[in-house]
């Protein structure tokens, strides 16, 4: 009975749309209820991996079969989706009170959830494609309903990349269908294994293109920044936390279930890793470095965190590509942890945006004295993101490092180190400029967000620390997944994970951490009490400060560092795509004049013609 997980959110979507017209809070409440139901009911399914479902349909002489099944991998992703959408929905009950498009938002949000569930349960290409497209389109509408003008343009960039990738996917799938007569995964994997290796690799590359776009891997990362930066503030956590990971899910399917790794197993290799895998991991490394450098330059906090998402995806890609037990474990851990702490960051920022109405970092400052809980959420999340113990982010990064050092992949490790150390820089920027520093006069009256928005942040803070101490809980499901995919599993206990060279005990770490703090607190407490003074009473070379605004260091925070990369950033990839798009539009415009002349019927005719040609090409191949 897997279809209900798709059907219920989809049905609820329309209910939410209708009811939300009456009451602004109804839509988000319904979303929360549906996600809660999904979460509970999916959690109860843990372990029943034989669950599957199929429908068949006869169309134009073809017997089409829609297959769905519950695997450990899809269970994990589905549960994560349900959990994160539950938190977001709770958060958005209050925060959407002033949002103009909240009905459409909830409609689309529930549809995205439904389609993502479909993607995860799909066991054949056709189901996968249908739900994938549904997901792309609904999330496109969600992104474009952001408040800013740029949102539409950003959404178009996202859409164009996704559509182009989807076509390549479709071509490859139709080709495989021609050969095997089935859309299901298993026959396709068999066929690809027995086929000539270059052709299989080409087909699989075409199939994985949409996943690469979705995951924001290096040359295709251009949509991520604008889409994240401009999406509605409540959707950004989902976009960064979950939608990017759907791409990773697809890649895991391609690599392991469509036997990409088996095909390239015996090709030329570097340090025991097939060269293609290594190149793919290098792509991940480049993604880390580009994302990091661009994140440091940003002045808009949502875009900054969006770039940070790009760079964190690089870690996951590296781990999956090297495909050692440790690497796979590390990247699955990082996937979960990134979901957790990145949603926390985006929720905290959403809370800030909810109160201040801006995303520019230099327009804020000193919010810690007004929104302490939001600050605490952000702080915990960035500690995790920077990989500092005792949080979950440290554990996953540590495992990935172990995997890289074990095999001696120097350059991948170098990129990983770079991304990790530089992440201090970019996560500290919003901390320093938004939460610390001088409080702006126009923000004097700001209050902490309402209770319904605090709850998700509090839960996420707890989860970050909890998984930082008990990584074994996450390891249970990861072991099941690696068993299912045929990867060796890693030794672990509730508190520790056995790395390549050594293990460590997170309970010890937590205790020692506490001990250190207690000693420091004692030193602090026994010393003289200090006097509280205002923020404006600071050292200013004897000059009186009256204007908090000009005494806040926020704009171009890392200028010396940025200067190092000014040349590189000038030749940005976005510029390249922009020129390409402009040229394409120009030629498209002239073509339109010649053929269509602006009449709708002509467009219809051409699309039919295109379809016929595509079908013919498919037939001939």
What is the footprint of another protein within residues 548-567 (CB under 8 A)?
Answer: 551-554, 557-558, 560-561, 563-564
Cβ(538)–Cβ(553) below 8 Å: no
C-beta of 278 vs 394, nearer to another protein: 394
Cβ(153)–Cβ(113) below 8 Å: no
Please count the other Cβ atoms lying within 10 Å of the Cβ belonging to residue 26.
Answer: 20
Tell which positions 486-545 bind another protein, by CB under 8 A: 499-502, 504-505, 508-509, 512-513, 515-521, 523-524, 527-528, 530-544
CB of 593 to another protein, least distance (A): 51
Cβ burial 265-274 (10 Å sphere, 16+ → b, else e): eeeeeeeebb
Instruction: Give the x/- contact pattern for another protein in 339-368, rule: CB under 8 A.
Output: ---------------------------x-x
Task: Provide the 8-state DSSP code for 147.
Answer: S
CB of 323 to another protein, least distance (A): 19
Total chain residues near another protein (CB under 8 A):
77
C-beta of 173 vs 554, nearer to another protein: 554
Please count the other Cβ atoms lying within 10 Å of the Cβ belonging to residue 104.
Answer: 16
Tell which positions 244-283 bind another protein, by CB under 8 A: none
CB of 55 to another protein, least distance (A): 50
From CA 397, how far away is CA 333, in angstroms rounded? 9
379 contacts another protein (rule: CB under 8 A):
yes
CB of 389 to another protein, least distance (A): 6
C-beta of 204 vs 509, nearer to another protein: 509
From CA 390, how far away is CA 398, in angstroms rounded? 12
Cβ neighbours of residue 344 closer than 8 Å, sequence gap 6 or more:
377, 378, 380, 381, 384, 457, 460, 461, 464
C-beta of 136 vs 312, nearer to another protein: 312
Tell which positions 400-429 bind another protein, by CB under 8 A: 401-402, 405, 408, 410, 413-414, 417-418, 421-422, 424-425, 428
Q: How long is the chain?
A: 621
The dihedrals phi and psi of 62, each to the nearest 5 degrees, come to -95, 140
C-beta of 520 vs 568, nearer to another protein: 520
429 to 203, 439, 499, 559: CA distances (angstroms): 43, 16, 33, 12
CB of 355 to another protein, least distance (A): 18
Cβ(479)–Cβ(473) below 8 Å: no
113 to 81, 240, 242, 286, 310: CA distances (angstroms): 7, 14, 10, 31, 22
From CA 461, how far away is CA 96, in angstroms rounded? 23
CB of 526 to another protein, least distance (A): 9
CB of 553 to another protein, least distance (A): 4
Cβ(326)–Cβ(499) below 8 Å: yes
Which residue(s) pair with 53 in the sheet?
68
C-beta of 71 vs 298, nearer to another protein: 298
Which of the ranges 25-33, 398-406, 469-477, 598-606 carries the binding residues for another protein, by CB under 8 A? 398-406
CB of 401 to another protein, least distance (A): 6
From CA 568, how far away is CA 22, in angstroms rounded? 52
Tell which positions 434-453 bind another protein, by CB under 8 A: 436-439
Tell which positions 283-342 bind another protein, by CB under 8 A: none
Which of the ranges 138-146, 218-226, 242-250, 432-440 carries the binding residues for another protein, by CB under 8 A? 432-440
Which two structure tokens, joined as six digits, stand for 25?
Answer: 């809070």
> 3-class DSSP state for residue 266?
coil
Among 412, 387, 416, 173, CA closest to 292: 416
Among 232, 314, 330, 387, binds another protein (CB under 8 A): 387
Among 272, 274, 260, CA closest to 211: 260
CB of 289 to another protein, least distance (A): 12
C-beta of 171 vs 286, nearer to another protein: 286
CB of 393 to another protein, least distance (A): 10
C-beta of 526 vs 619, nearer to another protein: 526
Which of the ranges 141-149, 335-343, 397-405, 463-471 carries the binding residues for another protein, by CB under 8 A? 397-405
Cβ(525)–Cβ(364) below 8 Å: no
C-beta of 156 vs 417, nearer to another protein: 417
From CA 315, how far away is CA 508, in angstroms rounded? 26
Tell which positions 51-80 bind another protein, by CB under 8 A: none
CB of 216 to another protein, least distance (A): 23
């Amino acid at each position: 009975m897997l279809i209900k997980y798709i059907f219920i959110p989809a049905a609820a979507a329309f209910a939410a749309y209708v009811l939300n017209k009456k009451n602004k809070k109804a839509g988000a409440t319904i979303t929360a209820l549906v996600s809660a139901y999904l979460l509970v009911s999916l959690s109860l399914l843990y372990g029943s991996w034989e669950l599957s479902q199929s429908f068949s349909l006869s169309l134009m002489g073809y017997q089409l079969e829609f297959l769905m099944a519950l695997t450990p991998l899809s269970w994990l992703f589905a549960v994560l989706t349900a959990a994160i959408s539950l938190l977001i929905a709770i958060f958005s009950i209050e925060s959407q009170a002033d949002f103009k498009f909240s009905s459409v938002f909830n409609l689309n949000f529930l549809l995205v959830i439904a389609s993502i569930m479909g993607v995860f349960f799909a066991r054949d290409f056709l189901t996968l494609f249908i739900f994938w497209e549904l997901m792309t389109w609904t999330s496109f509408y969600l992104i474009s309903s952001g408040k800013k003008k740029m949102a539409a343009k950003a959404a178009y960039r996202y859409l164009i990349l996704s559509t182009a990738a989807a076509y390549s996917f479709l071509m490859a799938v139709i080709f495989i269908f021609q050969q095997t007569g089935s859309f299901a995964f298993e026959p396709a994997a068999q066929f690809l294994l027995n086929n000539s290796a270059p052709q299989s690799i080409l087909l699989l590359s075409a199939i994985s293109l949409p996943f690469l776009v979705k995951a924001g891997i290096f040359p295709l990362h251009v949509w991520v920044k604008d889409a994240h930066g401009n999406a509605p503030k409540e959707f950004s956590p989902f976009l960064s936390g979950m939608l990017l990971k759907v791409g990773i899910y697809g890649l895991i399917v391609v690599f392991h279930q469509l036997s990409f790794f088996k095909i390239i197993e015996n090709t030329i290799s570097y340090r025991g890793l097939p060269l293609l895998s290594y190149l793919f991991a290098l792509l991940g490394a480049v993604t880390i470095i580009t994302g990091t450098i661009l994140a440091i330059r940003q002045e808009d906090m949502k875009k900054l965190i969006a770039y940070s998402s790009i760079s964190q995806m690089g870690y996951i890609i590296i781990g999956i590509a090297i495909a050692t037990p440790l690497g796979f474990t590390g990247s699955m851990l990082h996937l979960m942890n990134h979901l957790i702490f990145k949603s926390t960051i985006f929720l905290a920022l959403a809370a800030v945006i909810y109160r201040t109405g801006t995303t520019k970092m230099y327009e804020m400052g000193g919010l810690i004295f007004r929104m302490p809980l939001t600050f605490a959420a952000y702080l915990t999340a960035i500690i995790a993101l920077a990989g500092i113990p005792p949080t979950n982010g440290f554990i996953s990064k540590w495992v990935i490092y172990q995997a890289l050092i074990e095999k001696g992949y120097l350059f991948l490790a170098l990129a990983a180190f770079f991304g990790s150390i530089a992440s201090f820089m970019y996560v500290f920027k919003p901390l320093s400029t938004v939460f610390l520093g001088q409080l702006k006069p126009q923000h004097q009256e700001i209050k902490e967000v309402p209770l319904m928005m605090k709850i998700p942040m509090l839960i996420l803070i707890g989860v970050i620390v909890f998984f930082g101490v008990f990584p074994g809980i996450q390891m249970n499901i990861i072991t099941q997944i690696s068993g299912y995919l045929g990867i060796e599993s890693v030794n672990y206990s509730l508190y520790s994970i056995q790395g390549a060279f050594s293990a460590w005990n997170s309970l010890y770490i937590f205790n020692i951490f506490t001990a250190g703090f207690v000693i420091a607190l004692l030193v602090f407490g026994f010393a003289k009490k200090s006097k509280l003074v205002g923020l404006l009473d600071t050292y200013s070379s004897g000059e009186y400060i009256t204007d908090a605004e000009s005494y806040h260091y926020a704009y171009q925070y890392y200028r010396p560092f940025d200067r190092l990369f000014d040349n590189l950033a000038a030749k940005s990839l976005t510029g390249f795509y922009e020129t390409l798009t402009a040229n394409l539009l120009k030629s498209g415009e002239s073509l339109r004049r010649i053929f269509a002349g602006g009449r709708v019927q002509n467009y219809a005719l051409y699309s039919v013609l295109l379809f016929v040609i595509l079908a013919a090409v498919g037939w001939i191949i």
